[in-house]
Amino acid sequence: MEKQKSYLDVLLKKKTLQSVQFTDDDSLIWVESADGIGSAFLQGANAAVQPLELGEPVKGGLFYGGGEFCTAKRKAVFCINRNQLLSLDLLTKEKKLITPAWGKVASPAVSPDGRWVLYVCSDREEDFLAVVPMHGLDWSRQMVKGADFFMQPVWHPQGELIAWTEWDHPCMPWQGNRVKIGEVGGMQIRLFSETWIDGKVGQSAHQPLFSPNGRWLSYLVENGEWEDLVLYDVKKKEKRVVVHGDGFMLSTPDWVQGLHTYGWSYDSRNIYYFRYTNAQAALWKVNVRSGKSQQVFADKGVWYSNLVTSSQSDTVVFFSSSPSEPKKIVELKDGKIEVCYESGEKKALAVDPDHIEWKGEDGQSVFGILYLPASESEKPFPLLVDIHGGPTSQSNFSQTPEAAFFTACGYAYFQVNYRGSTGYGLSYRDALQGNWGDLEVKDVYSGVKHLINVGIADPAKIVIKGSSSGGTTVLNCLRRYPHVFRCGICSYGIGDLIKDAENTHKFEKFYYQYLVGDLPDSKEVYLQRSPLFHVDEIQDPLLLFHGDEDPVVQYSQSVALYDSLTERGIPCTLKIFEKEGHGFKRDETIREYYKMILEFLDQYL
């Protein structure tokens, strides 16, 4: 019991590192979120950490967040309250609002001369790239418009070019991103021309960066099954692949703004980058001239994100995490790795998982991550099956306190990276196209059967758990395979796919078209895969959670599920958390959440 309480304490420590950047003097600034409120911190050469008093929460306002701030010319520009930009002088600590509180903002980028801030803006109907003077005395103006979405704006070192990523409906960003370059100038800076460099529907390109010497524009582009790192010669207009992805991905999906999975060395000679494979990450670097890559250091069973490089020295920082270690900022300098900062208490969460493979119902390979309790002698174990959201996402080897918590309770903890998950190649990801609500359900079932057959899972003690789209998969698994799962736990799951498709936010307006099909042509398919229209097929106990301020999935869907199940006499509990959205943040909410789960499992397993 004491061990379980220790892991629960970790679950309740909700501080999350969101982004990190170098300043001009190689100090570090990062944003850390607690209870959903972002705060900024500065770490100087003496390694002392000091909070930056901004007076408002730091938060990017587009998509699912990200792109919270940038640094340049001894200043930092932050997105605050999702809708405003604030500049901070890092020497005097003077702060100034440089845009009015209007629309949604993200991904600020300061021009090389320090005069302008380029950023992504949305008025909820139209998205565009805007520019505002750093002094904040004039109104911001539209710089680039015409596409449905924008992200990742960057400046050329001479300030006469910008680059960005854009895409249009009906695509999600990983289905049709385009990289463009624009020529800018004038006293009141404006766009003179733009050039489409790469990317199209069906071949996404993103993460543009100019080399420090200004010669190259680099970016990532899909190569059919994986991704390439490409260099575009700005003067010669020529391209060459410097890293050819084969068996590994170079990025993760752009659910948020501001993702960085590679970066230029200060002297433009090398590019540091991540390779993602089997839900794990590795740090590599490639020499730009020779095209030769080498792994920087070997470290298995870890997850890396948010890579940034110094403009002053050959130093790299990034986020590192593992199943037993909290997310931390690590620095690579002079060939050595050092921890700069850790976001949580360092506890001995000794749960080392295995990346496993099995055959799906159709004989194709499916993957997942399996955590086992410490006592092997107690096999077979009760099994908790965890379904990730997205669904275009993946479970990975980042810290998973929940896995430690449930294995301490005696459960095997199984994360299913069903087909449709990312990180296993584009064919694997796109296998879910038109098949959501069917294929991933079969993959979950085949994974459970595999663990039963090899003697790990107790067939009488299996529970399935998921949130958002993962919650929908929970409901469909209970429908399709009654009594295979002793009970289910669903948080803010989607019960009515038609209603959700018609009312979802702009970013995902056509996501259902990819996952299920066109409406109204595919209405029957939507009806068949909507759990709310087939609640009579659910025969096992269900625990439902939802936030009353969820902007993505209306809590009325969980209420309708609860009403229908209780009317039929199926054991069902519904908890609506006040002042919570699409994901739970508050300490008291999370404490109550896990208390109710343990009571529910005690009752039905």
Q: Structure tokens of 38?
A: 């972002």
In the chain, the amino acid numbered 182 is G
CATH topology of domain 2-342: Methylamine Dehydrogenase; Chain H (2.130.10)
Confidence class for position 4, pLDDT limits 50, 70, 90: low
Q: Is pLDDT above 90 for 37?
A: no
Residue spans of beta strands (DSSP E) within 92-189: 95-97, 104-110, 116-122, 127-133, 141-144, 149-155, 161-167, 178-185
Element (DSSP H or E) covering residue 500 = helix 497-503
Dump pLDDT digits (tens) for 473-517: 999 999 999 999 999 999 999 999 999 999 888 999 999 999 999
Q: Is pLDDT above 60 for 6?
A: no
How many alpha carbons lie under 13 Å from residue 2 in its C-beta half-sphere? 0
Task: Quickly list DSSP for 425-471.
Answer: -HHHHHTTTTTTTTHHHHHHHHHHHHHHHTT-EEEEEEEEEEETHHH
Residues 6+ apart with CB under 8 A from 278: 355, 367, 423
Strand pairing class (216-222; 178-185) = unpaired
Contact (Cβ atoms closer than 8 angstroms) between residue 363 and residue 355:
no
pLDDT at position 345 is 56
Contact (Cβ atoms closer than 8 angstroms) between residue 333 and residue 314:
yes
Q: Is pLDDT above 70 for 10?
A: no
Distance between CA atoms of 576 and 586, rounded to whole angstroms?
13
The count of other CB atoms within 10 Å of the CB of residue 375 is 10
Q: What angle do CA 332, 337, 339 make, to 5 degrees?
A: 100
**Tokens 């009571």, residue?**
599
Distance between CA atoms of 501 and 522, rounded to whole angstroms?
12
- Cα 205 to chain center, whole Å? 18
291: left (phi over 0), alpha (psi -120 to 50) or beta: left
pLDDT at position 569 is 95
Residues in the chain: 605
Residue 384: exposed, middle, or buried by beta-carbon count in 10 A (0-12, 13-18, 19+)? Answer: buried
pLDDT at position 101 is 93
Q: Where, residue-wise, is CATH 3.40.50.1820 in the chain?
A: 354-604
Most distant pair of Cα atoms in the chain: their distance: 74
Dump pLDDT digits (tens) for 241-291: 999 999 999 999 999 999 999 999 999 999 999 999 999 999 999 999 999
pLDDT at position 413 is 97
Q: Where, residue-wise, is CATH 2.130.10.120 in the chain?
A: 2-342
Q: What is the mean pLDDT of residues 216-240?
A: 97
Distance between CA atoms of 165 and 518, rounded to whole angstroms?
26
Residue 322: exposed, middle, or buried by beta-carbon count in 10 A (0-12, 13-18, 19+)? Answer: buried
Dump pLDDT digits (tens) for 558-604: 999 999 999 999 999 999 999 999 888 888 898 899 999 999 999 99
Dump pLDDT digits (tens) for 300-349: 889 999 999 999 999 999 999 998 888 899 999 988 899 999 876 555 55
Q: Which residue has the higher pLDDT, 131 or 409?
A: 131
Measuring CA to CA, which residue among 579, 507, 593, 588 is closest to residue 550?
579
Distance between CA atoms of 136 and 100, rounded to whole angstroms?
9
Distance between CA atoms of 445 and 383, rounded to whole angstroms?
13
pLDDT at position 1 is 47
Residue spans of beta strands (DSSP E) within 360-403: 365-371, 381-387
pLDDT at position 489 is 98
Measuring CA to CA, which residue among 209, 207, 313, 208 is closest to residue 266?
313
Distance between CA atoms of 92 and 266, rounded to whole angstroms?
27
Torsion angle, alpha carbons of 160, 82, 251, 507, to 10: -100
Dump pLDDT digits (tens) for 420-455: 999 999 999 999 999 999 999 999 999 999 999 999
Dump pLDDT digits (tens) for 12-21: 666 788 899 9
Q: Which residue has the higher pLDDT, 374 or 101?
A: 101
Q: Is pLDDT above 90 for 68?
A: yes
Strand partners, 303: 321
Mean residue pLDDT across the chain: 93
Q: What is the mean pLDDT of residues 378-402?
A: 93
pLDDT at position 289 is 96
pLDDT at position 342 is 86
Q: Is pLDDT above 90 for 166?
A: yes
pLDDT at position 375 is 76
Residues 6+ apart with CB under 8 A from 48: none
CATH topology of domain 354-604: Rossmann fold (3.40.50)
Element (DSSP H or E) covering residue 337 = strand 336-342
**Tokens 């620095």, residue?**
331
Element (DSSP H or E) covering residue 603 = helix 587-604
